[in-house]
Amino acid sequence: MRRKAVTTAVFLALAALTFAHGRLASSAAPEPTGDPQRRAQSGQTRQPQQTARRDYSHFSHSVPEHAKQKCDACHKFPSANWKDVRKGKDAFPDVTEYPEHASCIGCHKQQFFARERPAPSICSNCHVGVTPSFTARKPYPNPRETFDASPFGSTVTSEFGINFAHDKHVDLVGQLRRERERERVRFVTAAYRPEGEQKEQKKEEAKKEEPKETSDPKSCAVCHQTYMPQGDAEDEFVTRPPKNLPDDAFWLKKGTFKTSPGHSTCFSCHNADAGITPAQSDCNACHKLIPPSERLDIARAHDDYDPALAARMGVADKYTLERWSRRGVARFRHEWLPHQGLSCTACHDVNKMNTLDRSTLRVAVKSCGGGGTGCHVEQTNEGILNELVSKKRADPAFVCAKCHTLNGARALPESHVEALPGPTPTAKKD
């Protein structure tokens, strides 16, 4: 009887110890999340967490595996279609198409043969329909004017900035231009006419041969011309303004911006025949990859550009929006007659320009003085800047709308005060 009681006590003690050990183990393990019924079915076993999968449908040069590659590892110069992209005499050897499959499949064989429907996602980087039966490709970013005008290109922001040394080119471009003008053969029709008629004829011939735009003494107009010029047209606005637009209201006008050169301009000197470095095939000499963090800063830097105002105007041209978004003064217009009469170097300091640093591209406020002619800055309080600085100092809530659309509501910058000669001006009396 005693043996039976001892056996029963030992059994109960072991049962209690086993139950206690189970409770301790259960409390030490993390409790699974989710539905209680699923937790009961799945037990206490936890699967290792999977890392996020890379999205292969969006190509980026910034991916470390891509960034360390040389340009010619994927891009072949020239592309097979370079004669089709630009026609006739405008055609020249260039990179005008995406890389072929052979450039990608060596590293991305798994993605190329992935079991994805209707086609592997990696195909959408270049192809429109992403189906085996429809092989049309998206427009390539070069030539830019064709790419920007396409629905796909109108929303794409480049990963690259352009590295261009203005100080090395500005004098050379002017020199080459003068040499070409001297080498040009001119044929003049000879005729016996009165001297007065001959002089008039020479004047007419000179007008025909005169370049449309000049920028003496540095010949900047060889590369930069007026974008969307108004010329002799009566319509001065980029889009139709509302009726009865107030005189002082801002509405974007034609001829506000200047063009930026593309391969067509650069390759006229940098080509195999001329032997001027960098060569056409040396993409990295000019195209510099911008880190993703800096690209975000550029996209957010809306300076004196108001996206809501641009939408109201119906401005959809990509080049116009890009140039506007980088400006500190939205209202400045290059084609306005007093501005047209100025040399580019009267405002732009080409020796300090670094196209990869936006701060070096800004025009100094002092240049608005017009080289001593008093365009906007006067020695007295009569200048426009003199007057507006006085008003801003007297009333910080005053909005300077003479030059700005957004920046005029901000605090008065020191650069404006420093541009004024002599002591700080006082407000004019009405």
Element (DSSP H or E) covering residue 161 = strand 160-162
Question: What whole-number distance in Å separates Cα of residue 369 and Cα of residue 384?
Answer: 10
Q: Centre a 10 Å sphere on the Cβ of residue 46 and count the other Cβ atoms it contains.
A: 10
Q: Is residue 88 part of a domain?
A: yes
Widest CA span in the chain: 153
The pLDDT assigned to 197 comes to: 58
- Is 216 inside any structural domain? no
User: Encoding tokens for residue 356?
Assistant: 């990869």
Q: Which long-range contacts (CB under 8 A, 24 or more apart) does 249-253 make?
A: 250/309, 250/330, 250/331, 250/401, 250/405, 251/313, 252/310, 252/313, 252/315, 252/320, 252/324, 253/333, 253/335
- Out of 156, 176, 204, pick the residue that ends a domain: 156
Distance, CA of 268 to CA of 353 (rounded, Å): 23
Alpha helix locations (H) across 133-274?
144-149, 166-183, 195-209, 263-266
pLDDT given at position 420: 87
Is 84 domain-assigned? yes
φ/ψ of 253, rounded to 5, equals -110, 155
Residue 250 confidence (pLDDT): 94
Flag whether 22 is in a domain: no
pLDDT in tens, 357-387: 888 998 988 888 765 556 788 777 678 888 8
How far is the C-alpha of 428 from the C-alpha of 426, rounded, in Å?
Answer: 6
**Residue ending a domain, choose from 133, 156, 179:** 156
Flag whether 384 is in a domain.
yes
Domain boundary among 122, 156, 190: 156
Q: Residue-wise pLDDT tens for the chain (430 aa)?
A: 555 554 555 455 545 555 444 444 444 444 444 454 444 444 455 555 554 578 899 999 999 999 999 999 999 999 999 999 999 999 999 999 999 999 999 999 999 999 888 888 999 999 987 776 778 899 999 999 999 999 999 988 899 999 999 988 887 775 544 444 444 444 443 444 555 555 566 556 555 554 455 555 457 888 999 999 999 999 999 999 999 898 889 999 999 999 999 999 999 999 888 888 999 999 999 999 988 877 766 556 678 999 999 999 999 999 999 999 989 999 999 999 989 888 888 889 988 999 998 889 989 888 887 655 567 887 776 788 888 999 999 999 999 999 999 999 999 999 999 888 865 545 444 4
Is residue 86 packed enough to be buried (19+ CB in 10 Å), middle (13-18) or exposed (0-12)?
A: middle
Count of domains observed in the chain: 2
- Asked if residues 86 and 143 have their Cβ atoms less than 8 Å apart, the reply is yes
Give residue 86's domain range: 64-156
Does a structural domain hold residue 123? yes
Q: Is 387 inside any structural domain? A: yes
Determine the pLDDT at residue 42: 47
Has residue 270 been placed in a domain? no
